[in-house]
Amino acid sequence: MAQVQAPVTEVLVRASGDPALLVGTVRAALQDVATGLPIGGIRLLSDTIDSKLANERMLALLATCFGLLAMALTCVGVYGVISYAVERRTQEIGIRLALGASRSAVAAMLMRDVALLVAASAVLGGAGSVAATRAIRTMLFGFGPNDYSMLLWAGLLLMVVAVAAGYVPARRASRLDPMDALRQE
């Protein structure tokens, strides 16, 4: 003989104060109203909502972790590209130093080039980000029409990394011995 499971009925109770304290009272009241009715588990609404949103929260956490990893890889890439661009100019820097350019002037020249590159990249990247955001706006939850603060922070972080990436090799290049710089290939 197969058992047929009765349909599940849920009862919602609004309570002022701590609802966990009312579990026993609610169970007794339900037993009084429907004697013999099996009463399953009693859960708080907040616990039910938390269990229903567990997968979404896990996916949001995973997306955040991958986003942070992508940002870290981007920062490393920007640092590498700018450092390489400055290092390629070692012989030019050696010639400038040999001809009498001051070390601070060499560092300022390199940082000016880095700043120009960063500014152009920020303008192009910002325009591309705004265009992409407008294109996928329907898929972005909680993103208002003028809510670009996260894009601004990401752009500022990349700009700081790019300036730091330019500063380290520019400082190193300004301290080069002109003869050593001219001997390098």
* Window from 77-91, 98-112, 142-156 with minimum mean pLDDT: 142-156
Q: What is the pLDDT of residues 6-65, one digit of tens each?
A: 666 777 777 787 877 888 888 888 888 877 777 777 777 788 888 888 888 898 899 889
pTM beyond 0.75: the answer is no
pLDDT band at residue 166 under the 50/70/90 scheme: confident
> Is residue 66 over pLDDT 90?
yes
Helix (H) or strand (E) holding 114: helix 103-135
Sign of CA dihedral 56, 62, 65, 71: negative
Does residue 53 sit in helix, strand or coil? coil
Structural domain spans, the chain: 1-52, 55-183
Q: What is the pLDDT of residues 102-113, one digit of tens each?
A: 888 988 888 888
The span from the CA of 86 to the CA of 182, in Å, is 15
